[in-house]
Amino acid sequence: MLKLKIVSPERIEFTGEVSSVKVPGTCGQFEILKDHAPIISTLQKGVIEYDGQRLEILGGFVEVQKNEVSLCIEKTE
């Protein structure tokens, strides 16, 4: 399992354990699974998907380290 935390300027959007996360990277969508290599990437406008949930974003950043995924995002209105 992954520990996922999604933060926007307004609030903490989600925190909890998930099996995978799909994010709209600047160079294309990618999926983060357990034991993913450490990475920091920018995000473009698109959809974040995790455990059946969808969250539309305008952009942001993702950091993955030791099965912890942190997303700092700007939400669509």
pLDDT in tens, 22-68: 999 999 999 999 999 999 999 999 999 999 999 999 999 999 999 99
Nearest-angstrom CA–CA distance, 7 and 72: 5
Which tokens sit at 21?
A: 């996360």
Give, in order, the Cα–Cα distances in Å from 3 to each of 32, 52, 66, 76, 77: 11, 16, 9, 24, 26
Alpha helices in the chain (DSSP H): none
Q: Is 66 helix (H, G, I), strand (E, B) or coil?
A: coil
**CA 4 – CA 16 distance, rounded (Å):** 5
pLDDT value at residue 77: 72
